[in-house]
């Protein structure tokens, strides 16, 4: 680790503590949703915080078990018949991720549009907010860490909000309300000017008070039972703690299904990591850029270690990363501290951790969710225009109503469609004269003419009336696809029957693989084209140029 990382310990230590408090219930909840041993989630949290951080180049990203892999893990464990065999698939996934990093597959992360990334951040914020409301009310049927719209119990994000009204735990609601009030107070400017409150983080106060209230509310209507608390597995002694780690069953390496699952997890985990890297870099106040290939290799190393000691697969995760940023984290040290704290807490003080009410942690996550999905962000995206706003909103809705990867896919499809639509509309500057008797026309092609321009060029060619002359200027064109040349060639053949004279400027400067010959007398020399272009009788019907 770089010695410079210790320079920001004053900021990184409190941030690491907050991320640790947020991460523990998420690790347990994801393990529960994955059908894996609860401690496997804790192991993944340790590995993500310690091992991945040591090899990562991300300044603020935090790794751990990912909610997006829960469904894959659940099905994989059931199909393979044992968790030990599944761990072999985790190791395979890690090896594949290292290979992806070596072959520089991390470049894929740079192709996600900003509108989609910001939509993902806002959607995650909304989901966190909606998912934590039931926990704040003391209704914990859906485990922490579940970010999918459709839940394993047959409910969904919205129906859960209705169900919680029948299972309100008054004590949990009181704890959540007080915790939220403290966190909001801590965000006020006058509080931040007081030195003691700069050192002591609001979430720490919330957790301590939560433990106090949890021990006070033991009887009557305000009683908060253990089912509403964090539930780290407790070992009797150190040997019992070590016994919670699981070794992989390497006999499964010859099972083709293990390899299929390993490849699937490698792809999904890598995509989630790259998405989170892009999102985290955008949230970073210093706007540092994470080396994505290095990140893939770090995640691969982490997954190999996780598979060897009984952990769930890890990715970089936006909930913990955003909590890190919002808590003032400056360097990788905060992520490392969070990992070390998970290890120490699970080994030394699991009983104390199990006294923390989920309602206290719900209040912390409600603030995290709100900050990710502030109304100001929606207003800002709207002001940037429809080409930014539509993919943004679609991504938000798609992720909220499905899951992360499906939602991102839908958002990307809309963004790409917008790009195609823009390419069809924007590259053309149409100029026409008002002389209807003029029968001389010109179409000037841009530097790059691709299949995306076919529809517009066809439309312009169809506008040429009978008994006219058409000159196609390709003198500035450096690339033209055969699709377009075929359209021009076909039009030339049709022009014979409509008494239309068609000529095109020299194409000698283009590599057309002999296609020019098939155009026959269509091509004119540069001198003739210059004479044609300067003709006073010429009507320019379409100048096709790239807009800048």
Count of beta carbons in the 10 Å neighbourhood of residue 25? 26
- Give pLDDT, residue 530: 44
DSSP state of 291: -
Give the span between the Cα atoms of 515 and 517, in whole angstroms. Answer: 5
Condensed to tens digits (0 to 9), the pLDDT of residues 302-333 reads 999 999 999 999 999 999 999 999 999 999 99
In whole angstroms, how far apart are CA 222 and each of 2, 170, 225, 442, 547? Answer: 49, 5, 10, 82, 66
- For residue 500, tell me if it sits in a domain: yes
- For residue 149, tell me if it sits in a domain: no
Condensed to tens digits (0 to 9), the pLDDT of residues 26-63 reads 999 999 989 999 999 999 999 999 999 999 999 999 99
Measured over the CA atoms of residue 148, residue 151, residue 156 and residue 160, the dihedral's sign is: negative
- For residue 147, tell me if it sits in a domain: no
Residue 230 sits in the same domain as residue 357:
yes
Residue 335 sits in the same domain as residue 451:
no
How does residue 441 score in pLDDT terms, banded at 50, 70 and 90?
confident
Residue 354 sits in the same domain as residue 384:
no
Are the C-beta atoms of 244 and 233 separated by less than 8 Å? yes
In whole angstroms, how far apart are CA 232 and each of 83, 128, 142? Answer: 19, 22, 17
Q: Please say which residue of 354, 373, 392 terminates a domain.
A: 373
Are the C-beta atoms of 545 and 444 separated by less than 8 Å? yes
171 Cβ contact list (under 8 Å, min separation 6):
138, 213, 217, 221, 222, 223, 224
Assessment of whether the complete model's pTM goes beyond 0.85: no
Burial of 489 (0-12, 13-18, 19+ CB in 10 A): middle
- For residue 343, tell me if it sits in a domain: yes
How does residue 496 score in pLDDT terms, banded at 50, 70 and 90?
confident
Residue 32 sits in the same domain as residue 104:
yes
- For residue 222, tell me if it sits in a domain: yes
Residue 226 sits in the same domain as residue 324:
yes
Condensed to tens digits (0 to 9), the pLDDT of residues 64-111 reads 998 889 989 999 999 999 999 999 999 999 999 999 999 999 988 888
**Range of the structural domain that residue 417 is part of:** 375-425
Count of beta carbons in the 10 Å neighbourhood of residue 177? 13
Residue 276 sits in the same domain as residue 360:
yes
Condensed to tens digits (0 to 9), the pLDDT of residues 231-245 reads 999 988 888 999 999
Residue 239 sits in the same domain as residue 91:
yes
- Give pLDDT, residue 532: 42
- Beta strand 539-544 with 440-444 is parallel
Residue 410 sits in the same domain as residue 488:
no
How many structural domains comprise the chain? 3
- Give pLDDT, residue 511: 54
Which CATH number covers residue 504?
3.30.750.24
- Give pLDDT, residue 436: 53
Residue 460 sits in the same domain as residue 391:
no
Phi, psi angle pair for 469, to nearest 5°: -120, 130
């Amino acid at each position: 680790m770089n010695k410079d990382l210790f320079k920001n310990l004053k900021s990184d230590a409190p941030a690491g503590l907050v991320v640790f408090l947020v991460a523990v219930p998420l690790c347990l909840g994801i393990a529960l949703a994955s059908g894996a041993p609860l401690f496997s989630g804790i192991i993944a949290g340790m590995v993500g915080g310690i091992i991945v951080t040591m090899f990562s180049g991300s300044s603020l990203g935090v790794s751990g078990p990912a909610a997006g892999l829960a469904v894959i893990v659940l099905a994989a464990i059931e199909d393979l018949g044992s968790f030990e065999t599944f761990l072999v698939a985790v190791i395979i996934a890690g090896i594949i991720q290292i290979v992806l990093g070596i072959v520089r597959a991390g470049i894929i992360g740079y192709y996600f549009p900003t509108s989609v990334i910001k939509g993902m951040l806002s959607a995650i914020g909304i989901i966190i907010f909606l998912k934590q409301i039931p926990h704040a009310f003391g209704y914990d049927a859906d485990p922490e860490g579940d970010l999918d719209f459709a839940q394993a119990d047959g409910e969904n994000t919205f129906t859960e909000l209705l169900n919680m009204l029948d299972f309100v735990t008054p004590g949990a609601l009181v704890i959540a309300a007080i915790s939220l009030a403290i966190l909001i107070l801590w965000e006020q400017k006058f509080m931040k000017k007081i030195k003691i409150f700069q050192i002591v983080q609001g979430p720490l106060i919330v957790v301590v008070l939560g433990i106090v209230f949890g021990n006070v509310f033991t009887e009557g209507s305000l009683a908060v039972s253990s089912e509403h608390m964090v539930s780290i597995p407790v070992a009797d002694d150190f040997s019992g703690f070590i016994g919670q780690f699981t070794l992989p069953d390497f006999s499964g390496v010859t099972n083709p299904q293990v390899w299929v699952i390993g490849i699937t997890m490698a792809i999904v985990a890598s995509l989630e990591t790259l998405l989170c890297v892009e999102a985290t870099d955008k949230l970073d106040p210093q706007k540092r850029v994470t080396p994505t290939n290095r990140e893939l290799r770090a995640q691969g190393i982490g997954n190999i270690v996780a598979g060897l000691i009984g952990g769930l697969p890890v990715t970089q995760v936006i909930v913990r990363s955003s909590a890190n940023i919002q808590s003032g984290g400056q360097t990788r040290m905060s992520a490392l501290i969070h990992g070390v704290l998970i290890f120490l807490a699970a080994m030394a003080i699991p009983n104390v951790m199990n006294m923390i009410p989920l309602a206290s942690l719900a209040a912390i996550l409600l603030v995290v969710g709100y900050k990710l999905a502030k109304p100001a962000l929606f207003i800002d995206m709207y002001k940037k225009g429809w080409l930014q706003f539509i993919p943004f909103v679609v991504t938000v809705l798609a992720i909220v109503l499905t899951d992360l990867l499906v939602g991102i896919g839908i958002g990307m499809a809309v963004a790409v469609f917008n790009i195609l639509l823009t390419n069809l509309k924007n590259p053309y500057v149409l100029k026409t004269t008002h002389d209807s008797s003029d029968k001389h026309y010109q179409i000037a092609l841009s530097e790059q003419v691709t299949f995306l321009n076919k529809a517009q060029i066809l439309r312009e060619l169809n506008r040429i009336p009978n008994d006219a002359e058409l000159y196609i200027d390709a003198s500035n064109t450096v690339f033209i696809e055969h699709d377009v040349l075929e359209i021009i060639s076909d039009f030339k053949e049709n022009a014979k029957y409509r008494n239309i004279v068609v000529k095109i400027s020299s194409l000698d400067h283009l590599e057309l693989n002999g296609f020019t010959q098939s155009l026959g007398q269509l091509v004119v020399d540069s001198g003739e084209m210059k004479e044609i272009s300067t003709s006073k009788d010429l009507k320019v019907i379409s100048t096709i140029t790239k807009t800048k």
